[in-house]
Amino acid sequence: VIQAYKQGLSPAVGYELNPWLLCLSNYRAWKAGYHGKVSFLKKDLWKVNLSDCYNVIVFLAPSVKPPLAAKLLAELPDEARVVAGRFPFPSWTPTSTLGQGLEQVWAYDMKEVRQAAQSSAGGSLV
């Protein structure tokens, strides 16, 4: 979230249910001088409406990616970009990638994800 803010993305908001990770995130933001500029909220990602989000960054286990893909496809606008760290979305083709190994990230433009899924014969959006 801090890096997103440093790159000019605002508002920069993180969602976390684990109270320890939430506290750690807020502490790190404060220590880095970004208190009040970034937000970490105790909310369930599955219950948050993402329809007004244009930049989504996720660091989640591979098992979570298929249901998350369905949520993102249902809620994000075509202009949105999704960046996945550590693990890619298994059925999406990335627009770009950066890094390698544990430091690799995959970027997906939602319009391209939707177009690719629709153009493939019987392609699944998830």
What is the third-level CATH fold of 51-125? Rossmann fold (3.40.50)
Answer for the pair 120, 92: CB distance below 8 angstroms, yes or no: no
pLDDT digits (tens, 9 = 90+) for 69-112: 999 999 999 999 999 998 999 999 999 999 999 899 999 999 99
Report the mean per-residue pLDDT for the chain: 91
E strand map for 1-115 = 12-15, 38-41, 55-58, 81-85, 96-98, 105-109
Which carries the bigger pLDDT value, residue 21 or residue 9? 21
Which residues contact residue 11 at a Cβ distance below 8 angstroms, ignoring those fewer than 6 apart?
39
Where do you find CATH 3.40.50.150 in the chain?
Answer: 51-125
